[in-house]
Structure 1
Amino acid sequence: MDWVGLKAVFGPPAQGQLPLDCSHDQFLMILAYAVMCAACFATLHVSERAIQVENYHSRQRWQVLGAFCLAGGVWAMHYIAMLALEVPMPMRYDLTATIASLLIALVAGALAMKAITQETLNRPSSILNATAIGLGIVTMHYLGMSALRSEAAQYYEPKSFALSVLLAILSSLVLLLMARELRHGGDALYQFRRGVASVLIGAGLLCTHMTGIWSLHLTMTTNMAMHSTQPENGLQLGLTIALIALLIVGGSISASLADKKLQEKEIDLRRVNLLLDQLDQARVSLQQVAHHDPLTNLLNRRGFNQIFAEKLLEYSSEGGMLAVMFLDIDHFKRINDSLGHDAGDELLKVIAERIHSATRVQDVVARFGGDEFCILIDLPNAEEARSLAERIMQKMTQPIVLAGRRMVMTTSIGVSTFPKDGQTCEELLKHADLALYQSKDNGRNRVNFYIPSLKTQACLELNLEQELCNALHEGSGLQLYYQPIVDLRNGQVSKLEASLHWEHPRHGLLTPDRFLRIAEANGLIVDLDLWVLRRACQDLSELARVGLDELVIAVNWSAINLGRPDLVDEVLAVLQETGIVPSRLELEVTENALMGNISNVISQLKQIRNLGISLSIDDFGSGASSLAYLKRLPLDTVKIDRSFIVDTLKSPQDMEIVQAIVAMAHTLRLKVVAEGVETPEQLDYVKQYGCDYVQGNLFTAPQPLGQLSGELRQQRTASDSPVSKPAARVVPLKQKTAKKGY
C-alpha cells in the first residue's frame, strides 16, 4: 500500500501516462448525503442527552453512542460516495485500509463528543478541537481512498487536497458550535434549527469528500486497455451500508428521544415528589397553626378539644379519672389598658411558661384565647387536681418584671372531673367554666370545684336574662323604688335615691343586686340605665305637679355605661324630652367605676356637670381611690359606704375612717351623705362628725313613688320638729318596707 502523502504531485502526469475520466452515480451520492445528514442529526440529538444527563456513567455511554453515530455516518457517507465513483477499469478495496479508516473515524467521533460535552469551551479550545477532529476526518477520508486498488496510479492535486482539509476543519467547528448552541430545547422551532444545522454540517462533510475526490488523479500507461467496469454489487453494497448506518442513526435517535421522555418523566416525578414534600410541610405547618396558639406555642381550643375527645374515648372504655381545669388571670385587662397590648402579650408568655412548668409531662395545657387557659390532667383522685391548682397559684405569686415594673398576678381556677361531673367534652368544659365564675364571684385568686347547684344557678340566671330582656322591651314588671335622703340641717327630705326593682311573675319582687349583675354581663345595662333615667325624670315631673318641685332624684349609673361616647347626648335628650330642670337630677357613680376609668371619664363628667346635673360618688371608702384623683373629679357629693356606718359604734377604726372621709370631703368642698343609718345612735354619731345628709331604714325603706308622695307632701306642710325624731318628720310613724325578693 502506497502512502497518500507520497503521491501528491504539482504537475501533470509523467510522459506516457494518461489521466482517466471519472464520474459518479447520482443516486448513491444523494444516498451518501442523506446518510450524512441523518448521522449529524442523530449526533446532535445524542450530544444533547450526553450534556443533560446527571449520572457520570450514563454520560459516558451517551458519548460512546454519539461517537459511533458521527463516525459511522462519516465513514458510511465516504464509502457510499466511493462506491458511486465510476472508473473505466476494474477496482477493488483493501480490507485493512478500510478497517483502519473506520477506526480513525471512531477516534475523530470520540474527540468530537468529548469536546461537545465539556462544561465550557472557549474560542481557542473550539478551534483546537475542531482542527483535531477535521484532521481525523481527512485522515479517514484519504486512508479510505488509498484503499482503492486498480491498475491506475493515484496522484493528488495539492490545492484541492488543502481545501478538503480546511473544509473538514470548518465542518467540525460548525458541528461543535451548533451542538453546544442546540443543547437545550424541544419545541418545533428548535427541531427545525437542528435539522438545518444537520443539513449544513452534512453538506460541509460531503464537500470535504468531493474536494478530496477532485484532488485525486487516476492515470494509466498508454498501452493499458481501458474499459468501463463497475462492480456489480456496488449499488447493493451502498444500500446495505446506508441501511446499516440509518439503522444505527434511527436507533440512536429513538434511544435519545426515549431517554429524554424518561428524564422528563423523572423530572416531573421529582417535581411531584417535591410538591408532595412541600404539601406535607404545609400540612404540618397548617396543623401547627390550626392546633397551636402562635403567641404561647401552647395548644389552642381546637387542638385541646381533639386531644380531650381522644382521652375521653380512652378513659370511657378503660376507666379512670380526668380533670378539666379552667384558669383566668385576675384583672388582666388592667395590664392591656395601662401598659398596652404588647406588654400584655409578653405577660401572657410568662404566665404560660409558669403554668406549663407547674404541670406534669403528661398533662395537656392549652390557651383558649385572651387570658383563659385550660389544663387536662389524668389523676388518681380529685385532690391531685387541687394540688396542681395550688402549685399554679403558688407559681403565680412570684413577681413578674414587665415594662420596668414588678407585679404579682393571681388566677381564678375552676375544676370539673370525669366521670363525676360530665361525660362529654362540652359538658365538662361548661362545668369547669361555671366553677371558674364561682371562683371570681368569691373574690378571685382561688380554686373551686364544680357542684350541681352551680348549673342550677346558671340555668336560673339564663332564664332571668331572657325574661329581663323581655321585661325591658315590653315595659312590664320594672319599677322604681325611692329612699329619702334627709338634710340634717333642717330635717327635711331633700333628695330621693332611685333604685330599680323587678316584679317577677314567679319569683316576686327582685332587688337590684339580684339582676343588675346579669344585665351588666349581657349588655342590657345600657338600656336599663336609660330606662331608669327616663322614668326618674318622669317621676320628677309628677312630683312637680303635686308641689314637690324642690326634690332632687339621684340615679345610679353603671360602670359599664360610664364612659360611653354617646352618654352626654343621651342624658341631654332625656332632659329635653321630659322638660326636667337639670339641677333636680343627680347621677351617682361608684368609686370603683371612677377609678377604673379615671382618664376617660373626667371630661365626660365635666360635660354632664356643665348641663347643671349634680354628681356624687357612691359607696365611698369601699374601693381604692386616691386623693389626687378625687380632687380632679367634678363631684358635688360623697356618699360614705354603709359598711362603715353599720359597725361604727363597735369599731374604732370605722369611726376614724368616717371622720377622715368627712374631713377630706369638706376640705374639697363636697357634701357628705351617710348611708345605712338604721339606729338613732348611728344618726347621732354621723351628725356629731358633720355629715350633711343621712339615708337609711331608720327613716324608711325604699318604696314606690306612689306610697311616698303623700307622706312627702305632709312633711312639707308640717312644722319642723327635732331631728331626734326623724321618723315623724320624714314619713308617718307607720313604716312601710319593700317586699323581699329571693
Structure 2
Amino acid sequence: MDWLGLRFFTAVPDGAQLLLDCSHSLELVVLSYLVACVAGYATLSFAERAGHAERPAARRNWCAVGALSLGVGVWGMHFIAMLAFQAPVAIRYDLPTTVASLLVVILAALLAMPGLAESNPSLRQRLLSALCIGLGIALMHYSGMAAMRSEAQIYYRPGLFALSVVIAIVASLAALQLSLFFRGREGLLHQLLRIAASLVMGGAIVSMHFTGMWAMELIVPLGTPLELQSPGNPKQLGVSIGLIALLAIGGGLGAAWADRKLQHKERDLLRVNSLLNQLNQARASLQQAAHYDPLTNLLNRRSFNEVFAEKLRSHAQQGQALALMFLDIDHFKRINDSLGHDAGDQLLKEVAERIRHTLRDQDVIARFGGDEFCILLSLGRIEEARHLAQRIMARMKKPITLARRQMVMTTSVGIAIYPRDGETCEELLKHADLALYQSKGSGRNAVHFFSEHLRNKASMELELEEELRQALKKDRGLVLHYQPILDLAGGRIGKLEALVRWEHPRLGLLAPDRFIGIAEANGFIGELDAWVLRRACHDLRQLTAKHAHPDLRVAVNCSALNLSHDDLPDEVARALKSSGLRAQRLELEVTENALMSNVNQALTLLQRIRELGVGISIDDFGTGYSSLAYLKRLPLDTLKIDRSFMLELPEANADRQIVQAIVGMAHTLNLRVVAEGVENAEQLGFLQELGCDFIQGYLLSKPLPLEALATFLDDFAAGRAGIDALAKQQRPEIDYLKSI
C-alpha cells in the first residue's frame, strides 16, 4: 500500500540497494526530545487554564493556544529529529507537504483539547483525547516523512509501523492519566508530577518518531553513488527550529503564567468582595439585631429611646404635645404557663400586628420586652391618646387562635403626656409606667393617665419599701400585737393570734394592710414572715415563763407567697428550736385562696409542718373558692370563719345559714371552728347555740401589745372577765373598744 510516496505493505523490489549507513546527531536528538517535553508541558498547562476559564470564549482561546503549542512542538521535534538523521543520499523537503503535516497535528490537538480541559474527564473522554493526540502525532510524522525528496524510496515494515502508532496512543493516555494527579492543585509535588507527565508525553512523541524511523527502509537503485551528507548545515537549522519552537511555546507559557497570576488576583478580589459582602450583611444583621426586636420586628428599647429623644427635641421646638403610651397584655403569663412559650410568641406577634395596623403612619411603636409595648403619638388634643388607646383595646378583644384554641385577650394602658407630665425621656417613661401600674391595679383592661397622685403614691411606696427593709434588717420598729381567742367550751383564753404592726417614725403605728403588700411586691415577704414567726414563738415562751400560761397557743399568719417556698417547714423548725417552744403550742394560719392556688404543693408542705407537731388553721374561710375534695385531704386542725359573715348576725338569714353550714361541715371533718369579728352578745349567743368552738373579736379584746396582753390574761384568769361578763356588755362599750 502506497500513501504519498510511502510504501507500508509493499515488498522491497529485487535489485534494489538498501541504505544501511544511516545515523543520527545526538545533540539534535536531545534537542528534539526537549522540544517535545516542553510542548507536552505547555499543552497540559493550557488545558488546565482552559478548565479554569469561566467564560466560554476564554476557554476556546486557551484550547486553541494549547493545540498550537502541541502542534508546533510535535512538528518542531519531528523536523529537528529529521535534521539529526544522516543518510548517504541528498535529502530535501517539499514545502506544501511540510506545512500540511503541521496543520494535521494542530487539527488533531484541537480535537483533543476539549477533553483535556475537563476538570475530571471521564474514561471515554480520556481515551478519545489520547487517540486524537496519538493519531495526530503519527499522521504528522508520516506526512512529514512524505515531504522528503531524495533518490531513495521509503518502505516500512508493517509490524514496527503499527507499533509506532500504538506507542503514540498508549504513551499519550499514560501522560493524560498522570496529569490528573496535579490538576487544580499547587505545591512542589504537583509541579513535579506535571513535569513527569510532560516527560512521558515528550517520550510518547519521540518514541513514536524513532519507532517510525526504525520501521523505515531507504531503497535506492543499484549503482547510485552514495556519499554521507555534511552535518554542519542541518545542525544549525535544527537548532534554529528548536529555538523558534521553544520561544513560541515559551511565549504561550508566559501568557498562561500571566493569566494565572491575573486570575489569582481576580479570585482574591472576588474573595475580598465576597468577604466585604458578608461583612455588609453581618453589619446589616447586627444593625437589625441592635435596633429591632427579632420576634415582632418592631423597634427595640435601645432604638426606641433614640427615636424618643429625637421626637422630644422636635416637639419642643414646635411646641407640640406628645403622648407616651405603655401597653401590656393582661394575664400574659397564663398563656406561657398553660399553652407554652411558642403560643406566647405567636400571641406577641399577633398583638404587634394589631397595634401596628391601628396606629397612624407617623406614630412609633416598640417592644420593650416581655409583653410590654411602647407607643409615641404626636397630639393635637390630649383626648386623641385616649381614643387611640380605646381603639387598640377594642381591636385586641377580637378572638385570637392559639394552639387551636380561641382566646380573647385584654390590655392595660398607661399614658404620660409631654410636656405636662415631664420633659425628659426618663420622666415620661417612669410616669407612663406608673399609669400602667394603676391600670393593672384597678382591675386591668383599662386606660389611665399619669397624675401627681400616682407620683406621690409611688414615692411613698418606694420610701416605705426601703424603710421596711431597714426595719427588718435592724429589728427596729416592727412589733407584734396579740388578739385573744376564747375557748367557748372551757371559758378560757385558749389561743392568741399574732398580728404584726409597724411603729413608723413619721406615720405612727401602721396596720399590716399598709405594708404587707409592699413586702410581697418586692420579694421580702419571706423575711417578714420569718421575723413574725420567730418573735411570736419567743414572746409566747417569755409569757409562759413570767405568767404561767402553759397551755396557751399562738397562731401565726403565713402569706400566700411564703406557702410556695420549700424551706418553710425548716424555717418553722428553726423558730421552735431557737425559742424552746413546744411545737404543739404553735399554729400556722393560711388563707383559703393561698391553699387553693397551688393545692398539691401546699398539701406537701403542710404535711411536713404537721409532722413537726404544729397545728394548721385555714383563715378567712368562705371568702374564696374551696374544693371539699381537697379540703378533706389537707392536714387541718382549725377553720376560721371570716369576719364578713359576722357583721349582720344574727339578723341576716343568709349569713346565719352560711355560718351554720360552715360549722356543721367543719365538725363533720373533725375540725374546730373559730369565728372572727365577734362584736356583740347576740353574735356570741348565736355561735354558742351552733356549738362554735372559739370566738375572736372586739367583744373579747382588741389586739394588744405583749405587756397589755399579760395584764389581760391575768385579769381574765382572775375572773374579772368571762363569758357572762361579755354577754352583759352593751353596744356603746364595744364601739368604744373599737375606737381605741
Q: With structure 2 as the length reference, what TM-score do the two structures score?
A: 0.86
- CA distance, structure 1, for counterparts of residue 403 and residue 66 of structure 2: 75
Rounded to whole Å, the distance in 1 between the matches of 2:571 and 2:373 is 39
Aligned partner of 2:421: which letter? D
Say if 1:596 and 1:412 are closer, same or farther in 2 by CA, change over 3 A.
farther
Classify the secondary structure of the residue corresponding to 1:440.
helix
Task: State the distance in 2 between where 1:309 and 1:44 align.
Answer: 68
Separation in structure 2 between the aligned mates of residue 127 and residue 400 of structure 1, nearest angstrom: 70
Query: Residues 350-361 of structure 1: matches in 2 within 5 Å?
Result: 350=347, 352-354=349-351, 356-358=353-355, 359-360=358-359
Aligned 1:268-287 pairs, distance under 5 A: 268-278=268-278
- Does the CA contact (< 8 Å) of 1:481 and 1:501 recur in 2? yes
Q: Is the 8 A contact 1:292 1:303 kept in 2?
A: yes
Aligned CA distance change for structure 1 residues 407 and 100 (closer, same or farther; 3 Å): closer
Q: Check if 1:39 corresponds to 2:39.
A: yes
Q: Report SS of the residue matched to 2:646.
A: helix
| CA positional deviation for 1:354 | 4.5
Q: Label 1:64 to 1:378 Cα distance change in 2 as closer, same or farther (>3 A).
A: same
**CA distance 1:660–1:293, change in 2 (3 Å):** farther
Cα deviation, 1:80-131, whole Å, max 9, x if unaligned, reads 2222333456544332222222222222222332443468866677556545
Aligned residue-pair number:
731
Pick closer, same or farther for the CA change 1:98–1:661 going to 2, 3 Å.
same
**Among the aligned pairs, what percent are the same residue?**
51
Greater shift in the superposed pair: 34-43 or 256-265? 256-265
Q: 1:400-451, CA deviations, whole angstroms, 9 ceiling, x for partnerless residues? A: 6777877655443322233433344443333222222222333333222222
Q: Is the 8 A contact 2:592 2:623 kept in 1?
A: yes
In the other structure, the counterpart of 2:152 is 153
Give the match for residue 642 of structure 2: 641
Query: Residues 89 and 410 of structure 1: is their aligned pair in 2 closer, same or farther, counting only changes over 3 Å?
Result: closer
Displacement of 1:39 after TM fit? 0.8
Q: How far off is 1:38 after superposition?
A: 0.6
Change (3 A) 1:165 1:311: same
Task: Give the letter for the 1:98 counterpart.
Answer: T
- The answer for unaligned runs of 5 or more in structure 1 is none
Query: CA–CA distance in 1 between the matches of 2:378 and 2:656?
Result: 53
Q: Are residues 399 and 692 of structure 1, via their aligned partners in 2, closer, same or farther at CA, if it must alter by over 3 Å?
A: farther
Query: How far apart are the structure 2 equivalents of 1:50 and 1:70?
Result: 15
Once the two structures are superposed, the pairs formed by residues 10-409 of structure 1 within 5 Å of their partners are: 10-11=11-12, 14=15, 19=19, 21-88=21-88, 91-117=91-117, 130-150=130-150, 152-159=151-158, 160-179=160-179, 182-214=182-214, 215-217=216-218, 219=220, 222=223, 224=225, 226=227, 228-230=229-231, 232=233, 234-278=234-278, 301-302=301-302, 304-305=304-305, 308=308, 311-312=311-312, 315=315, 320-333=320-333, 339=338, 342-343=339-340, 345-346=342-343, 349-350=346-347, 352-354=349-351, 356-358=353-355, 359-360=358-359, 362=361, 366-395=366-395, 397=397, 409=409
Structure 1, residues 292-324: CA drift from partner, whole Å, max 9, x if none?
Answer: 666666665456556555655655555644433
* Contact 2:18–2:218 (CA under 8 A) maintained in structure 1: no
Superposed displacement of residue 375, structure 1: 4.1
Kindly indicate whether the alpha-carbon contact (under 8 Å) linking 1:324 and 1:374 is maintained by their aligned counterparts in 2. yes
Whole-angstrom distance in 2 between the partners of 1:8 and 1:635:
124
Q: Which residue of 2 aligns with 1:558?
A: 559
Contact 2:296 2:352 in 1 (8 A): no
For the residues of structure 2 that align with 1:250 and 1:217, how far apart are their CA atoms? Answer: 36
1:493-508 map, 5 Å: 493-508=493-508
Q: Distance in 2 between matches of 1:71 and 1:389?
A: 86
CA RMSD of aligned residues (A): 3.9
Q: Deviations over 1:469-501 (max 9, x none)?
A: 222122111111122334455665433222111
Tell me, in whole angstroms, the C-alpha distance in 1 between the residues paired with 2:15 and 2:677.
153
Q: What is the rounded CA distance, in whole Å, between the counterparts of 2:224 and 2:671 in structure 1?
A: 156
| Alignment check: 8 A CA contact 1:88 1:229 kept | no
Tell me by how many angstroms 1:392 deviates: 4.3
Residue 209 of structure 1: how far off its partner (Å): 2.4
Structure 1 residue 225: deviation in Å? Answer: 7.2
| Equivalent pair of 1:87/1:230 in contact (CA under 8 Å) | no
- Is residue 549 of structure 1 aligned with residue 546 of structure 2? no
Q: Any idea what SS the aligned residue of 1:325 has?
A: strand
Partner of 2:509: 509
Q: Which runs of 5 or more structure 2 residues have no equivalent in the other structure?
A: none
Which sits farther off after the overlay, 701-710 or 62-71?
701-710
Amino acid at match of 2:470: N
Structure 1 counterpart of 2:520: 520
Kindly indicate whether the alpha-carbon contact (under 8 Å) linking 1:616 and 1:638 is maintained by their aligned counterparts in 2: yes
SS at match of 2:517: helix
User: Mean Cα displacement is larger for which, 355-364 or 43-52?
Assistant: 355-364
Counterpart-to-counterpart distance in 2, 1:346 and 1:225: 107
Distance in 2 (alpha carbons) for counterparts of 1:426 and 1:23: 105
Determine the C-alpha separation between the residues in 2 that align with 1:558 and 1:74: 103
- Are the aligned partners of 1:28 and 1:81 in contact in 2 as well (CA < 8 Å)? yes
Q: CA deviation at 1:288?
A: 5.6
Shift of 1:55: 2.3
- For residues 613-645 of structure 1, the C-alpha deviation after alignment (integer angstroms, 9 at most, x for no partner) is 333222233323344443443333333333443
Task: Give me the whole-angstrom Cα distance separating, in 2, the residues matched to 1:49 and 1:168.
Answer: 24
